[in-house]
Amino acid sequence: MTENPTSSLPVPGRVAGRVVIVTGGARGIGAACVRRLLAEGARVVVADVLEAEGAALAAELGEHAAYVPLDVTSEDGWRRAVAAAEAAFGPVSGLVNNAGIVHVDPIETLSEADYRRVIDVNQVGVFLGMKAVIGSMRRAGGGSIVNISSTGGLIGYSRILGYVASKWAVRGMTKTAAQELGPDGIRVNSVHPGFTRSEMTADSARSHEQARHQPLARQAEPLEIAHLVLFLISDEAGYCTGSEFVADGGFTSL
């Protein structure tokens, strides 16, 4: 991918020709990213542990989408996923590291196993994903990596220590990766959604209640996060790397 600083205004097909892997793409924010990127001309790989949902989404979207089974904690799984993406569509020029889990417990009763499980998916998964796509992105001539962090990567939240630790880590990992990969034409940024309507938050009283007291007094729709991800994958963000992009209805302004 050649970044062209003189390219003009956004046109339909803002990511035409890109090959983008979206982890956790079977539902929620990830699925919204898949749909948005596809609508703007990308070839998109839905990479998720949810085989039925991922395959159904790819089938619904047609020949420019494919489902690849991926557990983001597996380095072998990542090798297979990138190889499958290349075989289907060509070198990978976009990665949305979106897969994530949350575990709710106060520190005092939080088990080591539950803490490590969250770190493994949300933090180690992002490391393995960035590592896995570098060679393919070089072959593509460059690329854009978007790591989905959270407002939990900007502030603290009680009872989700592992989640907050992982999301702060993702923010720092993003900056380090941006420094290492800039010379290859690979941009790396983090996105920090606030309270967003999804299965992750469906049973979260805190998500519903706290959103009511922020400047934009509602949860985000997944599509509102996907718009930001699309921008960062596209050349419109050609001078953006190593940065945080917040979409939180004003929550962290309070």
User: In the complex with ligand NAD, which residue's Cβ is closer, 21 or 99?
Assistant: 99
Count of beta carbons in the 10 Å neighbourhood of residue 70: 27
Structural tokens at position 220: 């985000």
Q: Which residues are identified as catalytic?
A: 163
CA–CA gap between residue 188 and residue 51 (Å, rounded): 28
CB of 176: closest distance to ligand NAD in angstroms?
19
Which residues make Cβ contacts (< 8 Å) with residue 169, sequence separation at least 6?
A: 119, 122, 123, 153
One-letter amino acid identity for 191? Answer: V
**Distances, alpha carbon 26 to alpha carbons 23, 91, 207, 251, in Å:** 8, 22, 22, 27
Which residues make Cβ contacts (< 8 Å) with residue 191, sequence separation at least 6?
A: 146, 147, 148, 149, 225, 228, 229, 232, 244, 245, 247
Using CB under 6 A, list all residues that contact ligand NAD.
23-24, 26-30, 48-50, 70-73, 98-101, 121, 148, 150, 193, 195-196, 198-201, 207
CB of 11: closest distance to ligand NAD in angstroms?
29
User: In the complex with ligand NAD, which residue's Cβ is closer, 57 or 140?
Assistant: 57
CB of 7: closest distance to ligand NAD in angstroms?
29
One-letter amino acid identity for 153? Answer: G
End-to-end Cα distance, the chain: 39
CB of 86: closest distance to ligand NAD in angstroms?
19
Ordered strands of the 65-69 beta sheet: 65-69, 43-48, 19-23, 94-97, 143-148, 186-193, 244-247
User: In the complex with ligand NAD, which residue's Cβ is closer, 54 or 185?
Assistant: 54
User: In the complex with ligand NAD, which residue's Cβ is closer, 24 or 143?
Assistant: 24
CB of 8: closest distance to ligand NAD in angstroms?
32
User: In the complex with ligand NAD, which residue's Cβ is closer, 18 or 27?
Assistant: 27
CA–CA gap between residue 120 and residue 49 (Å, rounded): 14
